[in-house]
Amino acid sequence: MSHSLTKIWIHGIFGTKNREALIKSTFENELHIHLKNKLENELECTVRTINGNKNHIHILFLLNPNYSIREVFKTIKGESSHWINQNDFLHTKFSWQIGYGAFSVSESQLKKVELYIKNQKEHHKQMTFEEEYEKFILKYKVKEGNR
């Protein structure tokens, strides 16, 4: 085969520093739009959906093979925290927690994961971000060294 072909959907999750409830409804939608624009326009990653809660974000996107997962998250987290601080959305300095979760999603599960992300507000009425994240760790059998 003379060409490299990839199609890797990623369910990305990252939280605010110390999991503080810093993502306010006053700028949450703007943040989602900003992240989508950054992913699609600069990194050329197709975004299927973005949502989250007051202390974390979920993104379902198609990974551009020219970038590593680490590069994508470093770029969007660094740039978006700068954007939040530059726009004075908060009375305190904003930053994201170190690290992220990135889980591959098969084509057959896209709609299910998309619905899960879209229903974050409802979902978190019954489960904390910490509980949700631990559930992902168990589901995907992520070992301590891979965290």
β-strands 56-62, 9-15 pairing: antiparallel
Query: CA 101 to CA 65: how far, in whole Å?
Result: 18
Query: Model confidence over 1-56: pLDDT tens digits?
Result: 568 889 999 999 999 999 999 999 999 999 999 999 999 999 999 999 999 999 99
Domain of 46, CATH number, reads 3.30.70.1290
Classify residue 2: in a domain, yes or no: no
Query: Of the candidates 123, 75, 95, which has an alpha carbon nearest to the alpha carbon of residue 19?
Result: 95
Provide the domain limits for residue 115: 9-141
**Ranges assigned E (strand) in the chain:** 9-15, 46-53, 56-62, 101-105
Strand, helix or coil at 69?
A: helix
Classify residue 81: in a domain, yes or no: yes
Query: Of the candidates 55, 63, 20, 48, which has an alpha carbon nearest to the alpha carbon of residue 116?
Result: 48
Q: How many CB atoms lie within 10 A of CB 14?
A: 20
The pTM of the full predicted model, rounded to 2 decimals, is 0.89
Query: Model confidence over 65-117: pLDDT tens digits?
Result: 999 999 999 999 999 999 999 999 999 999 999 999 999 999 999 999 999 99
Classify residue 1: in a domain, yes or no: no
- The number of folded domains in the chain is 1
Classify residue 3: in a domain, yes or no: no
